[in-house]
Chain A
Amino acid sequence: MFTHVDAVAGQLGRGLLLTLAMTALTFTGAVAGGLVVAVLRICPVAPLRAFGAGYVAVFRNIPLLVLLVLFVFGLPDLGLLYPLFATVTTAMALYWAAFVCEVVRSGVRAVPRGQAEAARALGLGFGQCLRHVILPQAVRPMVQPLGSIFIGCALSTSLAAAVGVAELTGQAEFLTLRYDQPLTSFALTTVVYVALTLTSGLVAGRVERKLAVAR
């Protein structure tokens, strides 16, 4: 394997780039989607509330791999054929949005009730109360769980290898089959994943300290 250092580094590098891109897109999509679902779950319109609750119930309980198989092999049967990368990323963002929604909800619950009551007593409406009073205080308890979700996103992108995306895990498998030095390529890939998760954990801790609110 050591005679192929360049080729191997190139393969793993490409895999890593794909993993990072997928993680970033999935996480961004999941946060945006999760916020929307969280707002739907607490809004006064009953059908939207029911939709939010149903969404979370379905997407929290379906295994991600089942969702990926459904999207990648099932949707083309409905004439909905999109590029593989887009399909996989969308499925993962939809999956993680349900978890982000639950984090947002528990973050909002962590804000003392009096804050919302005071805001309403001052005449703030639903949107104003959420934007100026609740969310700024709810963000801090959400940082650590969102960090865990980011790590979860990063690790779950490896499942894309099972449906044919050549990201980091897929490249590790490919290199193993190609160069017959399995333990080396797996060790390298493991190091990359550990570095990725440790960095995310550190960043989450730093952001949390930055966002500390004095009460």
Chain B
Amino acid sequence: MGLKLALIMMVLMGAMGGVGYWYYNDTQERMATLVANEAKATLAVQEAEAAKEAMEASYKKMAEENEKVNAKFAVIEASNKRLQNKLSRHDIGVLGIAKDTYTEKVLNAGSDNVLRCAEIISGSPLLESEISATKPSEINPECYEIANPNFDPSIQSEAWRKKNL
């Protein structure tokens, strides 16, 4: 009877040990999977965060570029308008009859200036005299925004600003 009981106990203990061993292994495996999953999830969140930041940076840059281009367009438009204003202020037909030599000089000087503007737009380097020009008499009045980087129109006389801005 004692031997039987001992045998049953041994079988039971063995079974319990086996279950315990299986449970331990299974739990460890699950823990490893869960921790690995968590790490992957954390990484995925980090990556998503980085992607979001990159997108936000791109949108910001896009807005900046748009703003810059609009500002440049405004300057270009102003320069274009200046010629229209100049032509509407003077009647070159009347001037050409009354002061032909003077008109010829003005037209030729204006033409030279405009052609120089086209050269600068195409990438021609600025001349020393263009860079150092700070007075209205030294500038290229057709495109001083691009031809004369050191000329500040805002500090010029009221009369000049009224005529040119």
Q: Do A and B come from one complex?
A: no
Which residues of A does B touch, CB under 8 Å? none
